[in-house]
Amino acid sequence: MLSVLSTVQGPWAFVYYQAAQHCLWFGRDFFGRRSLLWQCNAMEKSVVLSSVAAVAPGTHNLEWQEVPAVGVYQLDLKAFADLGTLTLEVYPWIYSNGGPPSENIEFKWEGLSPWTSLIMNKSGLFLPAPVCPLNKTISEALPNKVHTFSPQPSAEDLDVLLECAEKRKTVDHLIDVMSEAVRRRVQSLPCETPESSPLSSEADIAILFSGGIDSLFLAALADRHVPFGKTIDLLNVAFKLQEAQKPGKPKTKKNVELLPVDTNAGSTGDVITNCFDVPDRITGRASLKELQALNPNRRWNFVEINVTREELQETRQRRISHLIFPLETVLDDSIGCAVWFAARGTGTVMEGKEQKAYTSAAKVVLTGIGADEQLGGYSRHRVRFKTGGLDGLVQELAMELERISCRNLGRDDRIIGDHGKEARFPFLDENVVSFLNSLSVWEKMDLSLPRGLGEKLLLRLAARALGLGPSAILPKRAMQFGSRIAKLENRQEKASDKCNRLSTS
């Protein structure tokens, strides 16, 4: 069992009954890219495993939990039946240097029933981690200080950095490993149907597309490997902008006319002509132009997915809340809902000068999860660098990868899978992660440089090397803010707060 699993790369989750030993084996891949939940019911003294679980009115969310992706589990069913106590043996992931991927595994066992125990397996066996450990070497050198950068970075700043032969070599290596990761994910497709034959131009691949550096880079690489003549769907979601009410004035109804989309809108300084012209819509259109310039012969379907507050609330209550469960924070709600509508792919595309209804039929959806975690894309990375220096930044990056399986991936797998589609994560390809882990922190980011340049610096350089321009220096903007879902309902909430809107009871 362990020897087979140790040879498998890519996302997986499994439950396997070994009849000869009366054992149940289960687990998730190293990053937890596929959903697997468990429920230990103290009243019934039972354990239930499922990829998804609906919210049960009147029950506590902690009865269901995501299975921690720290290894493979074995349950002795005979001992369970005889003794009435549940003992799970875990076969953990171990790095090649002998250290566990997480320095603090214990926090992941919170919420287990008192009659349930979890122990390391008695034989001392383990699974070799599929990636190399993070390089925590700290260099005192500041390799990017040979040039003075303005507070407002430009694509020309990236050109200056690319003149360094050593840096260019690292950039080319990233492009190579990422290109191969994308190739595997866009060419290994579900079985073809008559509607999706190789001769059809209908899109097989879709990308969650905000127009930011992560999704733009994935689109540029997908263009290398998706067959000529095939369309690529770029899924761009927006939530209807709400008009701000002026103090002291009663709220009045106002008819809002949806004007034709301004296809020339390319920057956040453009006048909003449409109540769905949220920041991600504007940057998405600008990035679309760069892709069209990169390959004018490719058909790019920029799918404008527009969601009203009423549709959001109805769909959340009826469907999305069950997929986000057992997660329950405001952040889970915002991102989960945005991803669900984006992955559904129902919106409009531009045909000539008209917007026409369109629904993406692509069964594979690429997402940029993993880029921010590995390349210093979050604002908290810059804060940690300012307060803790390089040591603090490295510690923060190590923690990001340790906890990624219990933050995003299971949730997004459930949500995208609800549409009969498969989420694929090129930035979490084992070879990509190993390459990035092998680099020193200064080779991946330089948070002493201005925002829009220093974070995810290596990725920005790679995008520039591919021929991309202004979009390569767009600052990070979280999906919940770029799509404006975070401003649609309660603006006073914190991301970590429990979201009462997810309750169905």
Average pLDDT (202-219) is 96
Q: What is the mean pLDDT of the chain?
A: 85
- Residues 159, 121 share a domain: no
Q: Are residues 87 and 163 in the same domain?
A: no
Kindly state whether residues 194 and 328 are assigned to the same domain. Answer: yes
User: Is 142 part of any domain?
Assistant: no
Beta-carbon neighbour count of residue 155 at 10 Å? 15
- Domain endpoint, select from 128, 144, 174: 128
The answer to whether position 485 is within a domain reads yes
370 part of a folded domain? yes
- For every residue of 88-128, DSSP letters joined together read EEEEEEE-TTS--S-S--GGGGTT--TTEEEEE-TT---EE
Instruction: Assess if residue 248 is contained within a domain.
Output: no
Stretch 416-433: mean pLDDT, rounded?
98
CA 369, 422, 323, 52 dihedral sign is negative
Lowest mean pLDDT among 12-16, 82-86, 236-240: 82-86
Distance in Å from the first CA to the final CA of the chain: 42
Asked whether residue 257 is assigned to any structural domain, the reply reads no
Banded model confidence at residue 62, pLDDT cuts 50, 70, 90: low
Report yes or no on 136 lying in a domain: no
Residues 6+ apart with CB under 8 A from 411: 35, 323, 324, 327, 332, 335, 336
> What secondary structure, in 3-state letters, does 299-361 show?
CEEEEEEEECHHHHHHHHHHHHHHHHCCCCEHHHHHHHHHHHHHHHCEEEEEECCEEEEEECC
Query: Distance between CA atoms of 234 and 240, rounded to whole angstroms?
Result: 19
Pair 173, 277 in one domain: yes
Whole-angstrom distance, CA of residue 396 vs CA of residue 136: 11
Question: Can you read off the two tokens belonging to residue 469?
Answer: 């321009």
Three-state SS for 181-249 is: HHHHHHHCCCCCCHHHCCCCCCCCEEEECCCCHHHHHHHHHHHHHCCCCCCEEEEEEEECCCCCCCCCC
Best CA proximity match to 164, nearest among 186, 193, 143, 189: 143
Q: What is the pLDDT of residues 430-444, one digit of tens each?
A: 999 999 999 999 999
Of 111, 128, 145, the one marking the end of a domain is: 128
* The dihedral formed by the CA atoms of 206, 210, 216 and 217, expressed in degrees to the nearest 10: -90
Structural domain count, the chain: 2
Question: Of 63, 93, 128, which marks where a domain is finished?
Answer: 128
Output the pLDDT for position 256.
37
Kindly state the percentage of the chain with pLDDT values over 90. Answer: 60
pLDDT value of residue 6: 86
Range name among 150-159, 173-182, 293-302, 454-463 with the lowest pLDDT average: 150-159
Paired tokens of 292: 């069209």
CATH of the domain at 492: 3.40.50.620
Report helix, strand or coil for 140. Answer: coil
Based on the fold, state whether residues 318 and 376 are members of the same structural domain: yes
Tell me, yes or no, whether 112 and 177 share the same domain: no
Most distant CA pair in the chain, distance: 75
Confidence of residue 269 (pLDDT cuts 50, 70, 90): very low
- Is the CB of residue 471 less than 8 Å from the CB of residue 156? no
Q: What is the pLDDT of residue 100?
A: 65
Kindly state whether residues 121 and 162 are assigned to the same domain: no
Distance CA 500, CA 503 (A): 6
Q: Is 116 exposed, middle or buried (0-12, 13-18, 19+ CB in 10 A)?
A: middle
Which H or E run includes 166?
helix 165-187
For 228-257, how does the pLDDT look when each residue is reduced to its tens digit (9 = 90+)? 889 999 999 999 987 654 445 544 444 433
pLDDT at 259 over 50: no
Regarding whether 478 and 373 lie in a shared domain, the answer is: yes
What would the DSSP string read from start to end of 450-465?
Answer: PTTTSTTHHHHHHHHH
**pLDDT above 80: residue 12:** yes
Give the pLDDT band (50/70/90) at residue 264.
very low
Q: Does this model's pTM top 0.75?
A: yes
Domain annotation covers residue 269: yes
| pLDDT number for residue 200 | 62
**pLDDT grade for 88, boundaries at 50, 70 and 90:** confident
SS3 157: helix
- Position 195 pLDDT exceeds 60: no
Considering the domain architecture, whether residues 118 and 76 belong to the same structural domain is answered as: yes
pLDDT, mean of residues 448-454: 90
**Residue 472 placed within a domain:** yes
Judge whether residue 123 has pLDDT over 70.
yes
Cβ count near 297 (within 10 Å): 8
How far, in Å, are 14, 20, 490 from residue 27 at the CA level?
6, 20, 37
The verdict on 372 and 436 lying in the same domain is yes
Q: 168 and 123 in one domain? A: no
> Residue 121's pLDDT is what?
85
Q: Are residues 285 and 193 in the same domain?
A: yes
- The conformational region for residue 463 under phi > 0 = left, psi -120 to 50 = alpha, else beta, is alpha
If one counts every other C-beta atom within 10 angstroms of the C-beta of residue 324, the result is 24
pLDDT digits (tens, 9 = 90+) for 367-404: 999 999 999 999 999 999 999 999 999 999 999 988 88
Query: Residue 197: pLDDT band by 50, 70, 90 thresholds?
Result: low
Domain residue limits at 65? 2-128
